[in-house]
Structure formats: C-alpha cells, structure tokens
Amino acid sequence: MSLMSLFHHLEGPQTKGRGPAFWAAFGVALLAALAYPLFSDGYTVGNTAYFFVWVFIALSLCLIWGYGGALSFGQTAFFGIAGYGYGILTLNFGAAYGFTLIAVLIAIAIAAVVALLLGYFMFFGRIEGVFLGIVTLAVTLMLERFMAQTAGPEWRIGAARLNGFNGMSGMPPITIPWFDGPIVLVADIGLYYFILALVIFVYLGLRILVNSSFGNVIVAIRENPERAEMLGYDIRKYQLINFVIGAALAGLSGVLYTAWGQYITPSSMGMTSAALPLIWVAVGGRSDLTSTLIGTLVVLAGFQALTIYGSQYALVVMGVLLVLTVLIAPNGLVLGAMNVIGRIGARTKRERP
C-alpha cells in the first residue's frame, strides 16, 4: 500500500470528521495541547498526562467493542499484564542504555501474546456475544485474585517482589538515552509530550486501520458475522487480529500507567477498573474513534474533579452517567452531538450553494 493511500484512509465511512473544517479543528486542538505546558506548571501538566494514559485502553475497547462488536471486559487484564511486565523487567534490568523503552515493547508484546492465546480459544471456539464478556471478565478478575495473594516473599521474579495487594513499586520511569545524559520521563512536561505524541500516533493510525479493507471486514462482522463469512472471509482470523491489536493498546496504557506513577496494584485489574473504560467508551460513542477520544478525556476530567470534592460519590455518578447515556443517547453522547453538528453543517451547505 502506498503512502498516499494510507493518508487517503485517514478519512472514510468508519470515522466521523472529514474535510478541511475537521482537520482545522484537529490542528487547533493539537496546537492547544502542544502549547498547554507553557501556561501551566510541571506538576499540573504531569497530572494531565495521567488522563492521556487512559486514552489507549479506551481506544482499544472502541476498536474491539465499538467497531468489532465483541464486548471485552478483559482490556484491564492486558493493562495489568503489561504494567506488571514493565515493572518486573525494569526492576531486574534497570533503566540504563534505553532499556526502559525495550521493556515497554516487551511488556506490550507479552500482553499481545496472552491475547493471542485467549483470543484463539474464544474466537476459534466460536464464543460470541455476552459470553465473550463473561470469559474476558473472568480472566481479569482471576488475575486480580492471583496477584492479590502474592504478598509473601516467595512471590518474586528475580529482583521484583510482586507484593500482593499492596502492589509493585519502585520501578524506574521511562528513560530515553540522550547525548548529554539520559532524559528521565517522570510525571512532568517531558512525559506529557511523550504520551501526547503516542496519543496522536495511535489515533491517526487507528483511523487508517478502521477505514482500510481490514476495518471494512471488522465492521461487517459486527453487523452480520454470518454474511461476512459467506463473502469468503475467515472471520475468526479477523476477530483474533483485532483482539490482539486491542490488547496491545490496553497494554500500552498499562505500561504508561506503571511508568507514570512507578507503581501498579492488583486492583488495576479489579471490577471497578474493568468497568470504567466501558463507561468512558459508551458515554463518548463506542463506534467512533474521535467520540471515544473526546468522551474519555471529558469523563476522566469530570471524574477527577468529583473525586476531589466527594470521593465517595464519583463512582455512583459514573454509574448514573452510564444509565443516562443508555437511555438518552445509546450510541454515545459525544457521537450524538457530532451527528447533530454534522447535520447542521450539511443543512447550511445546502442552503448556501
């Protein structure tokens, strides 16, 4: 596939937003995100980077559930596997010579391999619909239970103590080797730009993916798996590849989360952690990448504000938000709003030819 046709797929039937108006808005948002650290302090910027950490797991769920029609509760499992993976690797081998970057890749690869095995049995075993959700939820809760009982000193991998419910900590942040000394990406402006670059790369990459012929088959499977298979597609293979890509993205979130706070606990794979991405994605609009991206950041920021002012109620509000979304805009609030804007835009165009 030529480079031009890659860019051509940045727009397409599977993504909202096209034409100069959309890309101008994208450019403005990007500039604002790039300029934002100039008007803030490192601590606040580092906290904002924390929101961006979660974008990848949200987009992974958008890809698997929204586009592929397979409800996965297991994204947190891959988040946890990659997070712990990064911790175990870097606690053992340190941060010198850019090893943290290699650890990021290995940790994501481990999550992807686990997804490949699990996905093989699910999709080639023709597990469908709600049962996919049950199996994936069982896997993530099992992992949580398992990690929670690793408090004893015998639970160690090399130098890395798993440390049970209290979690693993003290792993080095992502460290980039540089000419005049390595750049250590603690939760500050440097890490913010690092994660922002990843967000943009992954967002644009996924736009190309879902508008490609691969994406066509993925949405076809969501719409009618039998028809898709009877057009000659081995749908199990497509579902599996999509699931593995999603797991890798969830793993990226897990690694960045662990590197950001230099700790990870079993509760990152618990019930609450498994449910929250579902809420972000459902509220934003699961069948569109842009809606998911915006929805996730808005809901996360709102959740953070609520946690500060009344920590007990934040989760309850999340639940209410989900119920309201399902009742008012089942396809997502952001997606609904974008559709309205699109219709108004189309109407004004018709009136002023």
Partner 1 sequence: MALLELRDLNKHFGGLHVTNSVNLAFEPGEIHCLIGPNGAGKSTLFRLILGEHQPGSGDIFFAGDNITHLKSFARIARGLSVKFQVPGVFKGLSVRQNLEIALQRTHRAAELDREIDRLLAFLGLEAERNQTAGNLSHGQKQWLEIGMATSLKPRLLLLDEPTAGMSPEETFQTGEMVQRLNAEGMTVVAIEHDMAFVRQVAQRVTVLHLGQVFAQGSIDEIVADERVAAIYLGQAHHHA
> Which residues contact partner 1 by CB under 8 A?
5, 13, 213, 216-217, 219-220, 222-224, 226-235
Cβ proximity of 230 and 220 under 8 Å: no
CA neighbor of 66 nearest in space, from 274, 351, 291: 291
Cβ at position 338, least distance to partner 1 in Å: 16
Largest CA distance in the chain: 74
**128 or 234: CB nearest partner 1:** 234
**Burial letters for 265-290: b for 16+ Cβ neighbours within 10 Å, e otherwise?**
bbbbbbeebbbbbbbbbbbbbbbbbb
How buried is 246 (Cβ within 10 angstroms: 0-12 exposed, 13-18 middle, 19+ buried)? buried
Cβ at position 343, least distance to partner 1 in Å: 14
**166 or 216: CB nearest partner 1:** 216
Distance CA 342, CA 315 (A): 32
**5 or 149: CB nearest partner 1:** 5
Cβ at position 324, least distance to partner 1 in Å: 23
Cβ at position 287, least distance to partner 1 in Å: 8
**258 or 292: CB nearest partner 1:** 292
* Phi then psi dihedrals of residue 185, to 5 deg: -90, 75
Cβ at position 303, least distance to partner 1 in Å: 30
**231 or 341: CB nearest partner 1:** 231
Cβ at position 14, least distance to partner 1 in Å: 9
CA neighbor of 247 nearest in space, from 110, 43, 71, 146: 110
Cβ at position 226, least distance to partner 1 in Å: 6
Cβ proximity of 81 and 277 under 8 Å: no
Distance CA 150, CA 173 (A): 23
**223 or 351: CB nearest partner 1:** 223
User: What is the number of other CB atoms lying within 10 angstroms of the CB of residue 13?
Assistant: 10
**180 or 350: CB nearest partner 1:** 350
Cβ at position 203, least distance to partner 1 in Å: 22
CA–CA–CA angle 66, 34, 176 (5° rounding): 90
**258 or 287: CB nearest partner 1:** 287
Cβ at position 337, least distance to partner 1 in Å: 19
- CA-to-CA dists, residue 147 to 79, 142, 269, 317, angstroms: 14, 9, 9, 29
Q: How far apart are the first and last CA of the chain?
A: 36
**126 or 145: CB nearest partner 1:** 126
